[in-house]
Amino acid sequence: MKQNTNVILIGFMGSGKTSVGEQLASQLLFTFKDTDHLIEEQVGNTIKHVFETKGEAYFRDLETDLLKRLLHEYKETILSSGGGVPVREENRKLLRELGTVIYLRASKETLLQRLRGDQTRPLLQGASLEAKINQLLQDREVIYQETSHIQIDTDYKSINEIVSEICQSLEV
């Protein structure tokens, strides 16, 4: 892995970006950051509240603005990105400019298990969680694949196993 580089984790909600990212950062002695947390800090409220009061488009603009700022600020950082970040073409380019992009892939079944009962993610509220996950995954799978430099299957793996696989792929 190049010196001073960043590692960006992308993937569906519930794919483990935050837990994996935190552990990877402590192992590599990198800083850990999370786009959702950075946005919540910036607006002083939750993502759920932003969606409810300002709408999704406003939130997506905050994500793009954030990536643009980070581009000049970050080095040796593990960035966990919200599941919708790569959906905008402009963001895909920014993510790849920021560093090595890793897609944490999880199956529908795993995601359904992990996301059942979640009340924090606006896109998953209301009836039929399964249908929502199916639809969003169908729309996004190719995008995650194409945005990433490295893909890691996470089903049935512990966080430790996923982190070691990432380290092997990054050759660190």
**Which residues lie near ligand S3P (CB under 6 A)?**
13, 17, 36, 47, 82-84, 121-123
Q: Are 12 and 146 in contact (CB under 8 A)?
A: no
Identity of the residue, 122 or 151, whose beta carbon is nearer to ligand S3P in the bound complex? 122
Q: How far is the CB of 54 from ligand S3P (least distance, A)?
A: 13
| Alpha-carbon radius of gyration of the chain | 15
Q: How far is the CB of 106 from ligand S3P (least distance, A)?
A: 11
The phi, psi pair for 116, rounded to 5°, reads -60, 130
Q: Are strands 7-10 and 100-105 parallel, antiparallel or unpaired?
A: parallel
Identity of the residue, 59 or 74, whose beta carbon is nearer to ligand S3P in the bound complex? 59
DSSP 3-state assignment of 150? strand
Beta bridge pairs of residue 31:
77
Q: How far is the CB of 124 from ligand S3P (least distance, A)?
A: 8
Identity of the residue, 13 or 98, whose beta carbon is nearer to ligand S3P in the bound complex? 13
Distance CA 48, CA 17 (A): 19
Q: What residue has token string 């040796």?
A: 76
Q: How far is the CB of 82 from ligand S3P (least distance, A)?
A: 3
Identity of the residue, 28 or 50, whose beta carbon is nearer to ligand S3P in the bound complex? 50
